[in-house]
Amino acid sequence: MEYVSTRGSAPALDFEGVALAGLASDGGLYLPRQWPRFSEAQIRGLRGLAYWEFAVEVIRPFVGDSLTERELGAICHEVYGNAFAHEAVTPLVQLDPRNWLLELFHGPTLAFKDVALQLLGRLFETFLERRGERLTIVGATSGDTGSAAINAVAGLDRVEIFMLHPRGRVSEVQRRQMTTVRAPNVHNLAIEGSFDDAQAHVKRMFGDPAINGPLSLGAVNSINWARLMAQVVYYFYSAVQLGAPDRKVAYSVPTGNFGDVFAGYVAERMGLPIERLIVATNVNDILVRALARGDYSASGVTPTITPSMDIQVSSNFERLLFDCGGRDGAAMAAQMAGFAETKAMQLTNAQREGASALFRGFSADQDATARAMQWAHQAAGQVIDPHTAVGLSAARTALQEEAVDPSVPLVTLATAHPAKFREAVERAIGVRPNLPARVGDLFAREERFTELPGDYEASRDFVLTHALAGTRGSSAEA
Ligand SMILES: *Cc1c(COP(=O)(O)O)cnc(C)c1O
């Protein structure tokens, strides 16, 4: 399987190459040159398999020669056979005759990002060992990516991780899940500014030869193709349980960076009968506007009770625009250059039509989010987190407005455990969800992080100094 960049000029890479590279060297995002297709018979053949076996089948066409059958099987078994607290890994829960939840939060850090990052950690280990190389991961987090990534790579010999979070703007549970991990390869940087500032620093490091040269930088945010690939698995797993390929299924996906919902698009391209994908946002609704009117224009970020979706620019949307817009890398590069300059762009007709064939966007404000939490609690006895509630609110609006075929099951992705955002849950329904036992004594453990000012150089120089120190240390030992 070969991967190409959305901006057309970076070299094509194999799976191992894209997993380690993250962002393409031309600033674009990698995608498979063509989508693998599953026949109806192949999809039927998945019935009854365990989650890890689903993962092997769905992932196999994407990895090509980068992993042997035996390596892929061992990795999927290790990750999905062990690291999750529920035997089904991502269980389905029925809310009413039409609505379902797909619980994606049974991993170690209580959000869906574990599902992909636990796999990515094992892939890094396998590929770096084989190459005899080291990788310096730099990432920015609004909360959940950071803890999931740190948990996935803590203690790995060949990986050093630097995670930037906006100081004071992540929840206490989220911060503690990052800062109480005691492995020597983990560095938490609390920077002055917003999540978008932190992400801008990280993007700039990838293009800065002063750092991406002396160090080999890797990415763990959802620009990394391997993450999206891992998320395709649970669309197959849930749809097959609900009757695919003989019955269609629709999904409502709480969305920030457009990663999780893009994985649903990939599943549909591969032949899974997905009737509709609902893009559910909070009041930071650039995607809803883009899908409704073709107007993709960024404004300031409004902080909400769903901080993991407080994002104005959705990196992975570029993948959809590229795929729907005829896969023209040069045109995509020009369109994105225009957007970088003006913070606004108009979708082409092909992009709009391609996107509207499958996607609809709905946003939920704070009241609607609280009402969805109340409805889930009262009507179905389920305590849900506010991100999931944004998805459920959009699902219910979509049903009312007939944006979804009334005969198909509608699955809302439950992206976080309610205890991860327990203040907001308690305010909405008066119930304070308990942290599950698997997170241990989170509030008793000592925190470690470094505070830095908001300028780019402060972050870059910290990473340079500390990563090179790590490299010297390890070569001295070797
Ligand atoms: C990251 C995150 C999202 C948004 O996912 P994207 O892939 O960025 O669209 C939604 N909910 C939770 C709880 C998250 O952590």
Under the banding of pLDDT at 50, 70 and 90, the label for residue 477 is very low
For 108, the token pair is 């170690």
Measured between alpha carbons, how far is 450 from 191 in angstroms, rounded to an integer?
A: 8
Instruction: Indicate which residue's Cα is closest to atom 15 of ligand 1.
Output: 144
CATH number of the domain where residue 314 is located: 3.40.50.1100
The ligand 1 atom nearest the CA atom of 416 = 13
pLDDT at 75 (0 to 100): 97
Expressed in angstroms and rounded, the spacing between residue 177 Cα and the centre of ligand 1 is 17
The ligand 1 atom nearest the CA atom of 222 = 7
Expressed in angstroms and rounded, the spacing between residue 65 Cα and the centre of ligand 1 is 31
Q: Is residue 322 part of a domain?
A: yes
Q: Is residue 78 part of a domain?
A: no
Instruction: Indicate which residue's Cα is closest to atom 14 of ligand 1.
Output: 308
What is the set of active-site residues? 113
* Residue that has been written with the tokens 């009413």 in this structure: 96
Under the banding of pLDDT at 50, 70 and 90, the label for residue 76 is very high
Expressed in angstroms and rounded, the spacing between residue 388 Cα and the centre of ligand 1 is 10
Q: Is residue 412 part of a domain?
A: yes
Expressed in angstroms and rounded, the spacing between residue 255 Cα and the centre of ligand 1 is 6
Q: What amino acid occupies position 132?
A: G
pLDDT in tens, 215-237: 999 988 878 999 999 999 999 99
Measured between alpha carbons, how far is 198 from 192 in angstroms, rounded to an integer?
A: 9
Peptide bond connecting 91 to the previous residue in cis, omega within 30 degrees of 0 = no
pLDDT at 175 (0 to 100): 93
- List ligand 1's pocket residues with C-beta within 6 A: 111, 113, 144, 222, 254-260, 308-309, 387, 415-416
* Residue-averaged pLDDT of the chain: 94
Q: What amino acid occupies position 284?
A: N
Burial bucket for residue 22 (CB in 10 Å: 0-12, 13-18, 19+): buried
- Average of per-residue pLDDT across 237-259: 97
Q: Is residue 170 part of a domain?
A: no
- Average of per-residue pLDDT across 348-374: 97
The ligand 1 atom nearest the CA atom of 105 = 13
Phi, psi of 196, rounded to the nearest 5 degrees: -60, -35
Check: CB of residue 159 under 8 Å from CB of residue 123: no
For 134, the token pair is 């080291």
Cα three-residue angle 252-31-3, rounded to 5 degrees: 155
pLDDT in tens, 286-314: 999 999 999 999 988 898 999 889 887 89
Give me the residues paired with residue 413 across strands. 102
pTM: 0.95
The ligand 1 atom nearest the CA atom of 387 = 11
Residues 436-445 as b/e (b if ≥16 CB within 10 A, e otherwise) read eeebeeeeee
Q: What amino acid occupies position 240?
A: V
Q: Is residue 345 part of a domain?
A: yes
Measured between alpha carbons, how far is 81 from 54 in angstroms, rounded to an integer?
A: 12
Check: CB of residue 60 under 8 Å from CB of residue 38: no
Under the banding of pLDDT at 50, 70 and 90, the label for residue 203 is confident
- Average of per-residue pLDDT across 393-418: 97
Strands 274-281 and 359-363: parallel
Cα three-residue angle 468-471-473, rounded to 5 degrees: 110
Expressed in angstroms and rounded, the spacing between residue 310 Cα and the centre of ligand 1 is 10
Q: Is residue 424 part of a domain?
A: yes
CB atoms within 10 A of CB 144: 28
Looking at the chain, the whole-number percentage of residues with pLDDT higher than 90 is: 86
Q: Which residues span the domain enclosing 266? A: 88-110+225-429
Q: Is residue 441 part of a domain?
A: no
pLDDT at 473 (0 to 100): 40
Q: Is residue 177 part of a domain?
A: no
Phi, psi of 458, rounded to the nearest 5 degrees: -60, -45
Q: What amino acid occupies position 447?
A: E
Total of domains in the chain = 1
